[in-house]
Structure 1
Amino acid sequence: MKILVIGSGGREHTLVWKLKQCATVSRLYCAPGNPGIAALGECVPIQVDQIKALRDFALEKQVDLTVVGPEVPLTLGIVDEFRQVGLQIIGPDAKAAQLEGSKSYAKDFMVKYGIPTGRYEKAHTMEEALYLLQDFSLPVVIKADGLAAGKGVLICQTPDEARQAVVDILVNQVFGEAGSHLVIEEFLEGIETSVLCFVDGETILPMASSQDHKRIGDGDTGPNTGGMGTYSPNRVYTNAMARQVKEKILIPTLRGIQQEKMDFRGILFVGLMITHEGPKVLEYNVRFGDPETQVVMPRLKTDLCKVFSQMLNRNLSRLQLEWKPEVAVCAVLASGGYPGDYATGIPISGLEEVAEDILVFHAGTGMKEEQLVTAGGRVLNVTALAPTVDEAREKVYNAVERITFEGKTYRRDIGLT
């Protein structure tokens, strides 16, 4: 079987690594890929938003299955485009992709189908937003409505911060078209949990839980990022909590997908806040999380190709996922200055000194004159499995110390909160 993975980050490196283990896979392509992925498959110089070029490549190479990593091609309708020409692809159609592509659409969906979430309001102008803000307590969450690479969520502690957030999004357009309008949400207190689910339109099959650490600094300080590290399973996500989430959130979400006549054969990411009132949905994503995938996939014992096959045939109900008992921890190594401005092209060294049982997934790397260099904000994802969180953390941070590049930034508290 020939498989094409779309994307170039740590999530895609993890997926390629996992798919490489499938007995049925004969050829792996990744568009555009990265140097880490190049060691496992063939990287193809097509960008993730070049939908027709990706479609034509899949047809030319007679690709049997395409797996979409990032959200952008999904919102651009790549699934619809591929299925129209008979290509098998993992992901939701363009209609379902709005659950991630528009935060206001997602919040309206949650309310319509009785899914617990925080109170919210939508605003299209600065005047409207400032008026609506008066009804919210501080801190308050202000989000650009569209896709902003995980950075369009601002948690404001003061009235001045809230006003500046509104100005930045709607007037200064710091998130571009994603900020054509915004969503104001009540701030939910609790512990975040990420639950990735396989969905075939008839069954929703949750994976092992994880917890992302989104802020740049230790102790959840500083601005939001695309994610600075994860661990799995999340210690607060008990069996009792999982049953509650399934009943109150996952099943109603599936019902909504069916009622809205979405063709959702792909991955649903449910970002939860476990509050004193119970679990509430912070957001939906419609693809594998990053860096959640980097701890969930290494723990999955079930053949991923088999899961995808059952998903496409709407047979997930016949499948029971198996998981390794070990805990997985992942620390993200980022460029200095991230999530703001940062330099690229900085040489990376020390990977050869990392222990063999450590998984290092490339996120933002490139090659310059045969030297591995930084090429993004989040550079490398260092993952380890062990019987306990503490043991996994020790393995991860021992490896982190061996990898060096100028400006290297990382959180030291992954798995502690």
Structure 2
Amino acid sequence: MSTDTQTPSGPGSSITAFLRRDTTGGLFLLIAMLLALVLANSPWSEFYFGVRDAEVGPPLTGLQHTVAHWSADGLLALFFFLTGLELKTEFVDGELHNIRKAILPVVAAAGGVLVPALIFLGVNLASGGEASALHGWAVPTATDIAFAVSVLAVVGSSLPVAMRTFLLTLAVVDDLIAILIIAFVYTESVKVGFLGGAAVLLALFWFLTHKYMAWFMHKKWAAWVILLPIGLVTWWLVYESGIHATIAGVLLGFMVPVLKQEPRVIREEDPRMGLAPTLEHRFRPLSNGIVIPVFAFFSAGVAVGGLSGIKDAAMDPVSLGIVAGLVLGKPIGIFGASWLMDRFTSAEKDKDYTWFDMFGMTFVAGIGFTVSLLVAELSFGEGSPHSDHAKVGILCGSFLAALIGAALVAPRNAKYKKMRAAGEDPDTLD
């Protein structure tokens, strides 16, 4: 989970502090998505698609790809690097460290992946859709942590802390499952030589970050001059191995040392924080301010084609399966798995919030976007009819899930706000 930060006053400090907020990535994602949709369906559509499909890259390297491809395979690696840091932090000193405490959101996340996938397959099989359409079964399984947290921050500022912790833990596990799906499902063949080279550099990255952790923290230039080149070469080797290149970001994130009981509020970079939160502190503004919106801008632009195009998308089992998976599958899977665990095992739902509170959160978890858009491209290929319809399904399903989740959570937030105003702390109802 991203760390709440406070930075010292100074030139640009307010901007970087804003860019580090959980809600900023979701806000910029929404703006970029809407801008892409407007441009793709406007007189400037030719310009938009021309830029998106323009091939760039160093000559004579085999790394000349479209701008959209670079945003998905290149820039998004930084987003996944931060995801790797978050995952390792949770395993070492977070909600996932104590498996008995984490088991409920972990199983809930698994349910939130399984049921949407089954619903997508059911919709497409029942409609007699093309066999190629079934490749998109993983599209509605992802939760966009940045956007989900943004919705919860806007409509649920007074909710019990345990609710936000549950959603964040669930989203982190969801990210881990999505990473495994990308690594194993969307990898057709593996070139062992390149993968071996990546393993060597990962070991070097691990050695340097562990052996010289304090030095990298004190010398801010060192991460850019030493760690960044190692990361770039590792990314290239993973890319050439046949595994999706964003996995390199996750693996590099897991190589960074995580100290127990690190401060969760960063006011300034301090050696006591450890290297993991330091790197998160430095790179979060870049991810929220550039990586996420650029990826969304070049991935969400779909030429709907007027009413006929909307009709075609609405009749495609791919888009219908995605909408049903996000809006129905996520709540059914998450809520159902949580209730079964609470009812038939020793795992228990936190008593600080009710089952109805959780029901509202399950719809917020149905917000897809970032990883769903990436999986859609991997499933169908950029620019194919199924890919465009999948993106329409992701946007519509996520929007509906956000609206329903906000409508359910907002009244509960008002109730907890009144409790706090009356001096009753909803965080101590156990």
Q: TM-score, normalization: structure 1?
A: 0.24
Task: Considering fraction of residues, name the structure with more strand.
Answer: 1
Relative CO higher for 1 or 2, CA cutoff 8 Å, sep ≥ 6? 2
Larger radius of gyration: 2
Task: Considering fraction of residues, name the structure with more helix.
Answer: 2
Q: TM-score, normalization: structure 2?
A: 0.24
